[in-house]
Structure 1
Amino acid sequence: MKKNLLKKVLAMTVTVAMLGGLVACGSASNESSAEPAPASSEAAQTTAEEGAAGETADEAAQASDSGVIIPHFEDRVALDVVAFVGRGEADGLRSDPVSKYIEDTLNIDLYLTGVTEADWPSQLSAMMADGDLPDIFMLSDPTKQLPMLLESGSALNLEPYLEEYAPNTMNDPAGKMMIEAERMAANSPDGNAYLWGMCKGSWDDGTVPTCGHYIRWDVYKEAGYPKLDSYDEDLLDVMEAMVAAEPETDDGQKTYGCGAWFGAGQGWGEWVFTFGLGPQEGVNLIETTGRVLGVSTVDSKPLENNQLTDPEGIFWRAVRFYNRANQRGLLDPDSFTMTSDIYEENLKAGKYMFNVPGWMSANANLEFNKTEGNQKAFISLPSLSGDAEDRFGNMYRGERQYVVNANTENPERCVALLDFLSTYDFSRTAWNGLEGTYWNVEDGEPVPTDEYLNVTKDDALGAETGVNVYHHFCGFGNGTINPDDGVAIDLYQFSQKALDKKMNDTVKDFISHYGQETQVDVYRAETPVTDAGMYISFGDPEGDIASYVNEINAYVGKNVVTAVAAKSDEEFEAVRTKIIEELQKNYHVDEVFQYFYDEALAQADDVAKLVDMNNAIKADREQ
C-alpha cells in the first residue's frame, strides 16, 4: 500500500503541474515568519490497552527527560502520512535525522508524502473516490472536506483515544483548548473531535507580525522623526518626508512611499485592503464572509457595521489610504499591474518606505543585511490609533488541520504520533533540528550555535539535518514561547542570541526613541492590548449565501482598484458610493452580512468558553 499511495500522489502531482500548476501556500516567510502542565506521575503510569487493530503497548508509558510522555508500543508498524512538510527528499521513508528520531521514538516506519495546500484538494478527492486514503492526512479546506469524509466514514472520531494516546496534548492547556475548539459546532457535527490542529501559538515574537505597519526606520530617523500619530493622515506625510530624504535607491531607482500588487488578481491583489489596517486597529476582516464581517481581535465579538457598505469602515479606510497615496504621487504607479513577486523584489531594492506583509519585511531585511555595516531596516510600528492590535497572535486551534483515517489499522499509533509531534519539545526539534546539532542547552536555556545562525535554511539543509522539514507538521508555530524555558521555539530567529545578532543601530534607535529596553517592550507599552485570537469558526454557509460571497468577492476584486485610481477626493467618494450602491442593489451584501453576524452571535457561548480558557493560560504564564 505504501508504494501504491506514493505512486498515486506523485502521478496526480505531475498531472496538476501539466495542467498549469497551482500556487503553493507556504509559511509566512522562508524562515517565517499556552502552556502545558508538567507531566503527572499518574499519566506517566498509564498502561496502553489493546487497540482496535490488535496492537498492544505492553509497557507503561514513559516520561522522557523533557517531560514528554511516550507510550510504549511493542510491534513496529508502518504509517502513511500526507502532510505539509519539506520537499528536500523523495516521498517515502526519509533519511533525515529528525524523521529517524520520530520513527525510533514511536517504533514506526513513517512513509511521508509532502504536499501543498494548493495541490492537495484534487489529490484528496481522487483518493477518496478510490477509497485509498493514508493513515493521517492534511485538510486544506476543513469546512468543505470534513463533511465529505464523515459522510463516507473516513474520518476517525478521536475522542476514545485522547486520554490514553494523547497524554501530552491533554495535559497541556493549549492542547486542551485546541481539542475543545475542534468540538465546536462549526468544526464538528456532533461535539466530537475529528480534526487535529498543528502550528498552534504564534508565528513570531511580536516584532514581525504577519500584518503590520512597517517603515524604513533608518530613513524615518534621517527625515527627523516627523509626527506619526495616525494612519489616515500622518503616515502619508511621513512617507512623503521619507521619500524626500531618500529620493533614489543605491542603484539610482526612484523611491516611493509605498507599492502594491493589484495585478495579482482577486483576493491576493486586494490583500492590503483586507489586512492593511484591521489587525493594527484590533479588527479581523473575515475573508470567508466576503469581508462584510469584522470581529474584534480581543474576543471575536462581531462589529455591528457592514465593512463593505460603511464608507468609514476598516476596508474603505484602507482603500482611501492607497488612493490618497496615489494622488500624492507616493504610490508606485506600477502597482496597478504589478504582481507580488515583483513587488517584493522592489522592496528588497529599497524602493518603498512602507510595507504591510511581515514576511516581506523580514526578507527585505535579510537582503539589506548582506551589506556589511548595513543600517537599513523595516521595523513594525506600534498601533498608530488603536487601543488593541493583532500583535501577539495565538492560533489556538492550529493553523493547519489534520485527520486520521477511520479505516486505519493503527488508530492508537496515529493519535500517539500526532500527540508526540504536538509537544513543545518536538516543535523545537522541528524548527532547529536535534539537540547537539545546531543548539545546546546551557544553564537550562536552549542556545543556538554560531554556525546555525549563519546557515541558509533550504531543502538541502533539511535533508541533511532535519531542520524545517516538519515546520508545518508540528504542534507550535516558531514564535511560540516554550513555557518550560521561556524561549521561543525557533532559535534561529527568536532566541536572544539571534536577536542580538540582528540588533543593528537602527533597531537600537527605534527602541530608544520609545524609551524602552527591548523591541517587544515598545509594543507592550504603546498599545493597551496586544494579544489577539480568532475564536470564531464559520462552517459552510447554507442556501445561496456561499454563491453570494463568491459574487461579492468577484465584483470587489474587479472594481475596488478603480477607487484607488481616482484623481481626487471627490472622484474617490463617487466611485466608492457607486460600488457600495451596486453591492447593496445586486449582490445581496446586506443579507450576507446579517447571515454571518447572526452566526457569530450564535457562537457567543462557545467563544466565551475559549476566551476564558485562553485567559487562564495567560494568567498562569504571568505568575
Structure 2
Amino acid sequence: MKKTVARKAFAAASALIMCGNTMAFAGESTGSTTTPQFEDRVALDVVAFVGSGELDGLRSDPVSKYIEDNLNIDLYLTAVTEADWPTQLSAMLADNDLPDVFLLSDPTKQLPMLLESASVLNLEPYLEEYAPNTMNDPAGQLMVTAERMPANSPDGNMYLWGMCKGSWDDGTVPTCGHYLRWDLYKEAGYPKLENYDDDLLDVLEQMVALEPETADGQKTYGCGAWFGAGQGWGEWVFTFGLGPQEGVNLIETTGRVLGVSTVDSTPLETNQLTDPESVFWRAVRFYNKANQRGLLDPDSFTQTSDVYSENLKAGKYMFNVPGWMSNDANTEFNKAEGNEKTFISMPSLTADAEDRFGNMYRGERQYVVNANTENPERCVALLDFVSTYEFSRIAWNGLEGGMWNMEDGEPVPTDEYLKVTKDDALGVETGINVYHHFCGFGNGTIQPDGYTTDLYQFSTKAMEAKMNDTIKDFIDHYGAESQVDVYRQETPVTDSMNYISFSDPEGEVASWVNEINAYMGKNVFKCVACESDEEFEAMRDSMIEELKASYHVDEVFDYFYQDALAQAEDVATLVEMNNAIKK
C-alpha cells in the first residue's frame, strides 16, 4: 500500500506508563467536535504509542474506522513504545523515510535533531483552519501556548503537539502514591501513622505479622522494589517514592539534582543529590531501613518490575508506590467474591501539599508532523480530531452504543463493560484503549459535560461497583463523604502543576548529567543494602562527596536552577491561564 513505514513491522513491547499527574480539566468548551470537511481521500502513515493487538497498517477496529470516516483518510498505523522508538526514528531519519505523523519519545533531544534536518513541520499556518477544536478549547490554548515557549520551541512557533492532557485519574489512584493494604491497617487497629520514616515501617511490620504468608504460601514483606531493572527505571521508587507526596517533583532531565514545588514550580534551593535530607535521599534511607528490619523483599535487588507487579497482585507486599500497579493488584483481589483486600492511597503523611490532582497541560505524549508530508492539512486535522473531548472518551471506552450509552445526558457504562478484561482482543473488537496514548486527554479528565473520560474506571457506576467495605471504612475513618473528599480535607493543597519545561542541555552539561545518572544507577542500590544506619550514612556521604568532586553536580544544579528562574515570566503566564480554566 502507501509508504514503506506502513509495511515495516516494529515489535511493540509492553508500555511502561511513567509518571503522570492528576486533575480534572474542564474549561468553557462545549465538548462538541468540529471537523473540517475533505473531499479527496488520502492515506496517512502514523507512528504512535497505540495498542499493538493488530498488525501494523490498516486497522479493523471500529474506532480506527471512525477516525477514517470522519477525516476521509486511510490510516496506516504503526505501534511503537517510547523505549524502542528512538533507535527506529534515527534509522528512518537517516533513510529519509519518516511517516506523516509520529511520536517523539524524547522531545528535548529529538526535536532539535529534526529541526536541524528540516524534517518537522511548523504547525502555525494550519492551526486556525485545521485545528478548530484545540484553538477554541481553553485546555488546548494552554497546550499551544506552552509549546510556543522557549523550552519547547527555538523560535516561538509550535512544532510539538501534546496528547494526554489533563488527568490520569480522579485523585483516588495517583500515579505516585503511598498505597497501603487498608484492610490490614484496619485490622491492626489504625496505628499511628504520621511520617514516612519510622511510623510507616512500624505499621508495615504490624501488617506483615497479621498476614505473614500469601494465599499460596509465599512469605510476605512490607515492601518490594525492582532494582534489578537498573539505571533509570530501577531507581523509580527513589525519584517518585516521596517527592510527589510531599509537594516536590524531582526533574529527571536535570539528573534529579533539581526539585520544584508541585504548587507553582518554584525551584527548591537545595541540590537534591547533595542534601542528605532531600526527598531523594530520604526515600533511599526508607528502603534501607526496611531492608535492615527484614521488611524489604530481598529479591528486590534482582527482580524486574514485571516480577514485582506479579508479586504485588499475589499479596506479597503491604505497601506500594506506582498507582497503576496498585490498580492492577486491586483488580486481581476483586476476582475473589466478597473481597476485602484493597490498596488505598494515603493522604500525605507529613506535608501541606501533594501531587494528587495534577494537570498535564502540555500533554504527556508529544507528536510532530513530517515537514515533507504531502498532506499537512490532513495531518493537523487528525491531531486536532483525536485531541477532542469526544474522541478521548471514545478512545478509552469505544464508540457510543457499544460498551456505554448516554442516559439523560450522562455517559453510562454497560454492566458488561464493567466486567470485561481490557486486553488486545477487546481492543480489536471494540477499539477500546487502542488510542489511549494518542488522544487529547488522560482518562481521569473531567469533560465539559461534567463527567469523566474513562467510564470503565471513574464513572459513578464504576466507582459504586468497586466500593467494597474496605474503601467504605477508609472514608468513614476520616469522616468524609467520599474518597476524594478525604484527600481534600486532609491535605491543604492537593492541586499540582509542573509549569517548567527544560530543553536538553548542550555540551559538557549534557555529558555531566549522563555521568551523574550512570554513577547513581550503579551505586545507589548499595546504600539500600547497608546493614546499619552508620554504614548507610557513611556510604551516602561518600557518594555525595564523590558527586561533588568528580561529577560536577554543583555546576549542573546551578545550570538548571538558573534556567528555572529564567522561566519565571513564562510560568506566570501559564499559571494565569490555568487559573482561568479552573474558575
1:4 aligns with 2:4: yes
The verdict on how the C-alpha distance between 1:285 and 1:171 changes in structure 2, with shifts beyond 3 A counting, is same
Q: Could you tell me how far apart the structure 2 residues matched to 1:80 and 1:263 are?
A: 37
Give the equivalent residue in structure 1 for 2:201.
Answer: 236
1:25 aligns with 2:15: yes
Q: Could you tell me how far apart the structure 2 residues matched to 1:112 and 1:496 are?
A: 34
Quote the offset at 1:6 in angstroms: 2.1
Checking the alignment, whether the CA contact within 8 Å between 2:29 and 2:138 is kept in structure 1 is: no
Give the equivalent residue in structure 2 for 1:375.
Answer: 340
Give the equivalent residue in structure 2 for 1:117.
Answer: 82
Q: Give 2:544's aligned amino acid.
A: I
Checking the alignment, whether the CA contact within 8 Å between 2:4 and 2:97 is kept in structure 1 is: no
Give the equivalent residue in structure 1 for 2:529.
Answer: 565
3-state DSSP of counterpart to 1:592 = helix
Aligned counterparts, 1:30-41, within 5 A: 34-38=25-29
Aligned counterparts, 1:260-409, within 5 A: 260-409=225-374
Give the equivalent residue in structure 2 for 1:51.
Answer: none
Give the equivalent residue in structure 2 for 1:46.
Answer: none
Give the equivalent residue in structure 2 for 1:541.
Answer: 505
3-state DSSP of counterpart to 2:368 = strand
Pick one of 458, 461, 471 that aligns with 2:423: 458
Give the equivalent residue in structure 2 for 1:608.
Answer: 572
Q: Could you tell me how far apart the structure 1 residues matched to 2:557 and 2:391 are?
A: 42
Q: Give 2:458's aligned amino acid.
A: F
Q: Could you tell me how far apart the structure 1 residues matched to 2:488 and 2:541 are?
A: 38
1:425 aligns with 2:425: no
Quote the offset at 1:477 in angstroms: 0.6
3-state DSSP of counterpart to 1:412 = helix
Quote the offset at 1:251 in angstroms: 2.4
Pick one of 511, 515, 521 that aligns with 1:551: 515
Q: Could you tell me how far apart the structure 2 residues matched to 1:541 and 1:5 are?
A: 31
Pick one of 144, 148, 172 that aligns with 1:207: 172
Checking the alignment, whether the CA contact within 8 Å between 2:396 and 2:436 is kept in structure 1 is: yes
Pick one of 150, 157, 173 that aligns with 1:192: 157
Aligned counterparts, 1:458-537, within 5 A: 458-484=423-449, 486-537=450-501
Quote the offset at 1:84 in angstroms: 1.1
3-state DSSP of counterpart to 2:496 = strand
Quote the offset at 1:250 in angstroms: 2.0
3-state DSSP of counterpart to 1:402 = strand
3-state DSSP of counterpart to 1:69 = coil
Checking the alignment, whether the CA contact within 8 Å between 1:376 and 1:506 is kept in structure 2 is: yes
Which structure is larger by alpha-carbon Rg, 1 or 2?
1
Give the equivalent residue in structure 2 for 1:106.
Answer: 71
3-state DSSP of counterpart to 2:336 = coil
- List gaps (5 residues or longer) in structure 1: 15-21, 40-65
Q: Could you tell me how far apart the structure 2 residues matched to 1:90 and 1:326 are?
A: 45
- TM-score between the two structures when normalised by the length of structure 2: 0.97
3-state DSSP of counterpart to 1:525 = helix
Q: Give 1:357's aligned amino acid.
A: P
Checking the alignment, whether the CA contact within 8 Å between 1:24 and 1:119 is kept in structure 2 is: no
1:70 aligns with 2:19: no
Checking the alignment, whether the CA contact within 8 Å between 2:130 and 2:384 is kept in structure 1 is: yes
Checking the alignment, whether the CA contact within 8 Å between 1:37 and 1:171 is kept in structure 2 is: no
Q: Give 1:25's aligned amino acid.
A: A
Which region of structure 1 is more displaced relative to structure 2, 244-253 or 287-296?
Answer: 244-253
Quote the offset at 1:24 in angstroms: 4.5
Q: Give 1:276's aligned amino acid.
A: G
Q: Could you tell me how far apart the structure 2 residues matched to 1:227 and 1:436 are?
A: 49
Which region of structure 1 is more displaced relative to structure 2, 276-285 or 106-115?
Answer: 106-115
Checking the alignment, whether the CA contact within 8 Å between 1:169 and 1:175 is kept in structure 2 is: yes
Give the equivalent residue in structure 2 for 1:591.
Answer: 555
3-state DSSP of counterpart to 1:356 = strand
Checking the alignment, whether the CA contact within 8 Å between 2:60 and 2:428 is kept in structure 1 is: yes
Q: Could you tell me how far apart the structure 1 residues matched to 2:91 and 2:522 are?
A: 33
3-state DSSP of counterpart to 1:310 = coil
Quote the offset at 1:23 in angstroms: 5.6
Quote the offset at 1:496 in angstroms: 0.8
Which region of structure 1 is more displaced relative to structure 2, 331-340 or 233-242?
Answer: 331-340
Q: For each residue in 1:290-309, what CA deviation from the matched residue of structure 2 results, as whole angstroms up to 9, or x when unmatched?
A: 11100011111100000010
- TM-score between the two structures when normalised by the length of structure 1: 0.91
Aligned counterparts, 1:573-584, within 5 A: 573-584=537-548
Quote the offset at 1:83 in angstroms: 1.0
Q: Could you tell me how far apart the structure 2 residues matched to 1:473 and 1:614 are?
A: 23
Q: For each residue in 1:67-118, what CA deviation from the matched residue of structure 2 results, as whole angstroms up to 9, or x when unmatched?
A: 2111111222221111111112222221211111111111112121211112
3-state DSSP of counterpart to 2:412 = strand
The verdict on how the C-alpha distance between 1:290 and 1:38 changes in structure 2, with shifts beyond 3 A counting, is closer
Quote the offset at 1:437 in angstroms: 0.4
Checking the alignment, whether the CA contact within 8 Å between 1:24 and 1:117 is kept in structure 2 is: no
Checking the alignment, whether the CA contact within 8 Å between 1:28 and 1:359 is kept in structure 2 is: no
Q: For each residue in 1:362-398, what CA deviation from the matched residue of structure 2 results, as whole angstroms up to 9, or x when unmatched?
A: 1111111111111000000000011111101211111
Q: For each residue in 1:498-552, what CA deviation from the matched residue of structure 2 results, as whole angstroms up to 9, or x when unmatched?
A: 1111111000000000001111110111111111111111111122011111111
Quote the offset at 1:359 in angstroms: 1.0
Q: Could you tell me how far apart the structure 2 residues matched to 1:427 and 1:38 are?
A: 14
Checking the alignment, whether the CA contact within 8 Å between 2:3 and 2:45 is kept in structure 1 is: no
Quote the offset at 1:600 in angstroms: 0.7
Checking the alignment, whether the CA contact within 8 Å between 1:35 and 1:172 is kept in structure 2 is: no
Q: Could you tell me how far apart the structure 2 residues matched to 1:494 and 1:334 are?
A: 34
Q: Could you tell me how far apart the structure 1 residues matched to 2:4 and 2:268 are?
A: 50
Q: Could you tell me how far apart the structure 2 residues matched to 1:324 and 1:131 are?
A: 53
Q: Give 1:174's aligned amino acid.
A: A
Q: Give 2:17's aligned amino acid.
A: S
Checking the alignment, whether the CA contact within 8 Å between 1:220 and 1:242 is kept in structure 2 is: yes
Give the equivalent residue in structure 1 for 2:62.
Answer: 97
The verdict on how the C-alpha distance between 1:252 and 1:130 changes in structure 2, with shifts beyond 3 A counting, is closer
Q: Give 1:211's aligned amino acid.
A: C
What's the C-alpha RMSD, in Å, of the aligned pairs?
1.6
Quote the offset at 1:138 in angstroms: 0.9
Structure scoring higher RCO (CA < 8 A, sep ≥ 6) equals: 2
- List gaps (5 residues or longer) in structure 2: none
Which region of structure 1 is more displaced relative to structure 2, 567-576 or 212-221?
Answer: 567-576
Q: For each residue in 1:164-187, what CA deviation from the matched residue of structure 2 results, as whole angstroms up to 9, or x when unmatched?
A: 111110111100000011001111
Q: Could you tell me how far apart the structure 2 residues matched to 1:606 and 1:334 are?
A: 46
Quote the offset at 1:28 in angstroms: 5.8
The verdict on how the C-alpha distance between 1:491 and 1:28 changes in structure 2, with shifts beyond 3 A counting, is farther
Q: Give 1:82's aligned amino acid.
A: V
3-state DSSP of counterpart to 2:60 = coil
Q: Could you tell me how far apart the structure 2 residues matched to 1:96 and 1:341 are?
A: 28
1:126 aligns with 2:75: no
Which region of structure 1 is more displaced relative to structure 2, 209-218 or 412-421?
Answer: 412-421
Q: Give 2:381's aligned amino acid.
A: A
Quote the offset at 1:262 in angstroms: 1.4
3-state DSSP of counterpart to 1:470 = coil
3-state DSSP of counterpart to 1:530 = strand
Q: Could you tell me how far apart the structure 2 residues matched to 1:559 and 1:464 are?
A: 47
Q: Give 1:144's aligned amino acid.
A: K
Q: Could you tell me how far apart the structure 2 residues matched to 1:475 and 1:558 are?
A: 38
Q: Could you tell me how far apart the structure 2 residues matched to 1:134 and 1:339 are?
A: 33
Give the equivalent residue in structure 2 for 1:59.
Answer: none
How high is the sequence identity, in percent, across the aligned residues? Answer: 79
